[in-house]
């Protein structure tokens, strides 16, 4: 007769690995699809690393606004590196297997850098609000120590919010025949659907993380933008209003580039279950790949100091 302990051991199953999916329905042309993906990742990593080097080497960019831009670039580098190995492995070599624990690690860092990016965009909104509403106190409010504390708070918040996710997935019992992921990387929502167990806790905690991080950040960013607009409308000179608003354009574009795909992914997961798998895959890639690519382009085009510093880094000349 089998003991109760042995029964527990037999009934609990965790796969050694999952199978990732590339672009559904286009497996025959994965080799060709990998070319634009490789180009996009290269542009994202090169552009964001250039921003980091430009800010580090240019003394005139050692200001709060550019420190926060460096944090944004660093989060974009992390987000790109989180998905690059598995995505290119699937597209180039049709290597679809990912170890269970490696999947959980990738999932943590993928969501970690997404939450960090959302928090950095909020910090940048606060930076612009202080600069526009109270310019005389700007330097005294956003000192280097304050910026360091904000950076530590952002990292701590993302870590504490997301650290339980791998453990919540690790405790679940999985179905032996369900190991196929919907993407070439590991999403929390994607992995938990493979479990043959009650995932209510995972769903509720995942919802809590989204609302308490990205949800709260987006609301505070909207409030900040509204207060900035109210302050700008109080300026007497129309020319001064346009000049002040122009300093916000790059940040507004960065916010839209990040939050529109986030909303798209959320809507697709909640209400788009009837849509083809190809749509789900494309929306997910837009969410993870587009912001790291566009952010360096936006700031290099709209910010003359950043553009000049990046060119000096490329030319290898001294920065001032």
Per-residue pLDDT of 117-162, as tens digits, reads 999 999 999 999 998 888 888 889 999 999 999 999 999 999 999 9
How high is the mean pLDDT of the chain? 89
C-alpha dihedral (102, 42, 76, 107), degrees to nearest 10: -20
Give 237-260 pLDDT, tens digit per residue: 777 777 777 777 888 899 999 998
Please state, for a pLDDT cut of 70, what percent of the chain lies above it. Answer: 95
Could you tell me where the DSSP H helices lie in 94-196?
Answer: 100-133, 138-141, 144-162, 164-170, 188-192
Output the pLDDT for position 139: 87
Output the pLDDT for position 38: 95
Element spanning 261, H or E: helix 249-271
Residue closest to 133 by CA, chosen among 231, 226, 20, 201: 231
Residue closest to 120 by CA, chosen among 1, 277, 291, 276: 291
Weakest-pLDDT range from 22-26, 225-229, 234-238: 234-238
Note whether 119 and 112 are within 8 A (CB): no
Q: How far apart are CA 276 and CA 195, in angstroms?
A: 22
Note whether 122 and 72 are within 8 A (CB): no
Give 206-219 pLDDT, tens digit per residue: 999 999 999 999 99
What's the angle, vertex CA 60, arms to CA 54 and CA 66, rounded to 5? 60
Note whether 221 and 122 are within 8 A (CB): yes
In the chain, how long is the greatest CA-to-CA distance?
Answer: 88
Confidence of residue 10 (pLDDT cuts 50, 70, 90): low
Q: Is the pLDDT of residue 232 over 90?
A: no
Q: Is the pLDDT of residue 47 over 60?
A: yes
Note whether 153 and 115 are within 8 A (CB): no
Residue closest to 75 by CA, chosen among 253, 224, 288: 288
Query: What Rg, from alpha-carbon coordinates, does the chain have?
Result: 22
Q: Is the pLDDT of residue 9 over 80?
A: no
User: In the numeric block, which tokens belong to residue 203?
Assistant: 């769903």
Confidence of residue 310 (pLDDT cuts 50, 70, 90): very high
Output the pLDDT for position 24: 87
Output the pLDDT for position 269: 72
Match 């660093």 to its residue by tokens: 74
């Amino acid at each position: 007769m089998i003991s109760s302990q042995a029964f527990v051991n037999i009934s609990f199953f965790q796969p050694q690995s999952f199978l990732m999916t590339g672009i559904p329905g286009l497996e025959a042309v994965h080799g060709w699809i990998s070319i634009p993906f490789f180009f996009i990742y290269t542009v994202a990593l090169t552009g964001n690393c250039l921003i980091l080097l430009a800010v580090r080497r240019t003394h005139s960019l050692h200001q709060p606004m550019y420190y926060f831009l460096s944090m944004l670039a660093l989060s974009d580098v992390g987000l790109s590196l989180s998905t690059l190995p598995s995505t290119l492995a699937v597209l180039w070599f049709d290597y679809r297997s990912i170890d269970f624990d490696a999947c959980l690690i990738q999932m943590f860092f993928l969501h970690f850098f997404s939450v960090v990016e959302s928090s950095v965009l909020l910090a940048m909104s606060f930076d612009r609000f202080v600069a526009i509403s109270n310019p005389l106190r700007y330097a005294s409010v956003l000192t280097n120590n304050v910026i360091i504390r904000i950076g530590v708070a952002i990292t701590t918040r993302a870590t504490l919010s997301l650290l339980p996710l791998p453990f919540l997935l690790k405790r679940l019992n999985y179905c032996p025949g369900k190991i196929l992921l919907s993407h070439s990387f590991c999403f929390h929502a994607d992995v938990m659907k493979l479990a043959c167990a009650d995932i209510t806790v995972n769903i509720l905690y995942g919802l809590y993380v989204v609302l308490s991080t990205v949800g709260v950040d987006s609301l505070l960013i909207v409030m900040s933008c509204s207060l900035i607009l109210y302050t700008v409308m109080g300026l007497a000179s129309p020319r001064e209003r346009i000049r002040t608003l122009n300093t916000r354009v790059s940040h507004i574009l960065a916010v839209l580039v990040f939050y529109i795909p986030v909303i798209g992914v959320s809507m697709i997961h909640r209400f788009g279950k009837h849509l083809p798998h190809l749509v789900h895959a494309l929306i997910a890639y837009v969410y993870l790949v587009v912001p790291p690519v566009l952010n360096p382009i936006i700031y290099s085009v709209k910010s003359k100091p950043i553009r000049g510093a990046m060119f000096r880094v490329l030319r290898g000349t001294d920065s001032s």
